[in-house]
């Protein structure tokens, strides 16, 4: 729960800083900077989403520590195949 509160605090500080910068740009008539920063939270969420999806896909594609589970799965498949052959059950 502490980690959740730390993340909420970081998000609050980031959005507060963003709103102050946005307000400063609007008051001092920095219209180009204001327009560039206006959609920062949306771009941040989209970028973090892409990063999360890509890191999950990468870790799923390149699983490195499953050698024993792989052998265990092959043994289970072999046992199931022998069971089906012994009981004369058709399988694909």
Residue 46 lies in a domain: yes
Residue 91 lies in a domain: no
Give residue-wise pLDDT tens across range 73-89: 889 999 999 999 999 88
* Structural domain harbouring 77: 2-86
Residue 60 lies in a domain: yes
62: alpha, beta or left? (left if phi > 0; alpha if psi -120 to 50): beta
Residue 92 lies in a domain: no
Domains held by the chain: number? 1
Under the banding of pLDDT at 50, 70 and 90, the label for residue 66 is: confident
Nearest one of 22, 42, 39, 40 to 31, comparing CA atoms: 22
């Amino acid at each position: 729960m502490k980690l959740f509160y730390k993340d909420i605090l970081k998000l609050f500080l980031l959005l507060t800083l963003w709103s102050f910068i946005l307000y400063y740009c609007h008051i001092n008539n920095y219209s180009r900077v204001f327009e560039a920063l206006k959609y920062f939270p949306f771009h941040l969420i989209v970028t973090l989403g892409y990063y999360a999806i890509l890191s999950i896909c990468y870790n799923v594609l390149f699983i490195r520590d499953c050698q024993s589970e792989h052998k265990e799965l092959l043994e289970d498949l072999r046992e199931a195949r022998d069971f089906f052959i012994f009981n004369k059950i058709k399988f694909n």
